[in-house]
Amino acid sequence: MKLPIIDQHNFRVLNYFLNNSVLSPYAKKNPSNWDDIECLKGFVSDISKSLNKKGEEVDKYLMMFGKGLKKK
């Protein structure tokens, strides 16, 4: 099983999108359990399929996007 690299930046993006939707009323600052890893994996996988891009490319973009969010 291939898992995405979970770091503060791509996890921040996951929370950003979840909190700006009706799917999740809360955010976690840091990943703390296996469910967080599975959630991020599904998030990256869904985006990859939608954009027809490799997971690694999406993960790299999310990391850069997350770094930008931190500056706000």
User: How does residue 1 score in pLDDT terms, banded at 50, 70 and 90?
Assistant: low
Would you state the pLDDT for residue 46? 92
* 14-71 pLDDT, tens digit each: 888 887 765 555 567 778 888 888 888 888 899 999 999 998 899 889 888 888 887 6
Cα 60 to its chain centre, rounded Å, is 10
Tokens in use for 49?
């399929």
Residues 6+ apart with CB under 8 A from 55: 2, 4, 44, 45, 48
Q: Which residues are CB-contacts of 32 (< 8 A; sequence separation ≥ 6)?
A: none
Q: Identify the residue with better confidence: 6 or 52.
A: 52
